[in-house]
Chain A
Amino acid sequence: MLVLSRRPEQSFRIGDDITVTVLGIDGDRVKLGIRAPRNVVVLRQELFQELQGANSEAASNAPSTESVTELLRKIAPAKA
């Protein structure tokens, strides 16, 4: 892992398009500003892992069409 030391208001670049700036430090929290093209997805690591886990589980544990239809009929009776 590359390790960099930066002071508040200093930045570093990832490639040509991404700039990460240390905006401030408050106790044990570091506030970072990220400037990146809109097609670059920036997610907190916890959120990324949550979605990755949800995708993997959904891909291998898909309920059957019958069970889902039955369940949806119960919870959305007006539209069923």
Chain B
Amino acid sequence: MTVTHAPSLSPADIDASSVIAFPEGLVGCRSWKHFVLLTSDEADLPVGILQCIDEPSVRFMVTDPRLIDSTYCAELSFEDKLALGTNPVIYCTLTVSNDGNITANLLGPLVINAQTRQAKQVVLTDDTYSARHPVGRLG
């Protein structure tokens, strides 16, 4: 997948071909439909920022959920596989709380078809996954 490199984002810089589209928006946040993925050359781990174009104050820190849970498996429905491909890129969002703890949303991963750049926030039916899975503390 082609990526735009941080931190050079301004609306004029956005190449339409790099936009990742979530046609249904995110769960409970239906107006967040278009994002660009920003990565840094220095990062040696799969971390990136998903910057929302519809709402510039919205940005997600994302990573590969398998770094957090090595057995992680996002089971997709037949319809989702049709739309998102059989080998999509899967990210989870990370949140830092006021007390410095970082949590990962493993229940609602962001699933991206790297070829078509169509994406969806899938809600997994495996309820052992949490929307606030503790990852660790900062510092």
Stretch in B13-21, B111-119, B129-137 touching the partner? B129-137
B67 touches A51 (CB 8 A): no
Q: Residues on A close to B: CB < 8 A?
A: 38-39, 41, 43, 47-65, 67-69, 71-76, 79-80
State in angstroms the CA–CA spacing of A71 and B138 once bound together. 7
Residue B2 at the A interface, CB < 8 A?
A: no
B108 touches A54 (CB 8 A): yes
B61 touches A62 (CB 8 A): yes
Greatest chain B CB density within 10 A among A63, A73, A76 is at: A63
A54 touches B132 (CB 8 A): yes
The interface size of chain B toward A, counting residues with CB under 8 Å, comes to 44
Q: Residues on B close to A: CB < 8 A?
A: 6, 24, 26-29, 32, 40, 43-45, 47, 49, 52, 55, 57-61, 63, 67-68, 70, 77-79, 93-97, 102, 105, 107-108, 121, 123, 131-132, 135-136, 138-139
